[in-house]
Amino acid sequence: MVGGVILFAHGSRDPLWRAPMEAVRARLQAAQPRLLCHCAYLELCEPSLQAAVAELAGLQVAHIAVVPMFLGAGRHVREDLPGIVAALRDCHPELRITLRPPIGEDARMLALMADIASEAISLDD
């Protein structure tokens, strides 16, 4: 069984904004070569979540995990994203599509951000 991960982010017109998302995707793909990993965006750039799911469905994946790459669970994560995922489940009943919590709610991410912020003062010394 092949699985897929979609790193879902907001999106921006600035092409440089995508670099960190693509870097996470590349690291994940290198660490787990059998896992199909795509990025998708809510707006302002491509591909959309719908397009990424359709592409993975065409590659015969059985399970897709959507990982919101948001630090906070604002309206997009709380309201928009669950509706989009529900519609995708209806369009692709052969797939198991799971929606993960946003990365900003993971204790490991919070600890990492605190560690990075705590280094800020020593970098200026």
pLDDT in tens, 103-125: 999 999 999 999 999 988 765 55
What pLDDT, on a 0 to 100 scale, did the predictor assign at position 72? 74
CB 88 within 8 A of CB 97: yes
d(CA 112, CA 39): 22
- Token digits for 67? 């990982």
The CA distances from residue 65 to 18, 36, 97, 120, in Å, are 20, 10, 6, 34
Domains of the chain (ranges; CATH) run 3-124 (3.40.50.1400)
Positions of the chain with pLDDT under 70:
1, 122-125
Q: What is the pLDDT of residue 124?
A: 55
Q: Where are the beta strands (DSSP E) in the chain?
A: 3-9, 36-41, 63-68, 96-99
Q: In the chain, how many H helices and how many E strands?
A: 6, 4
pLDDT at position 59 is: 93
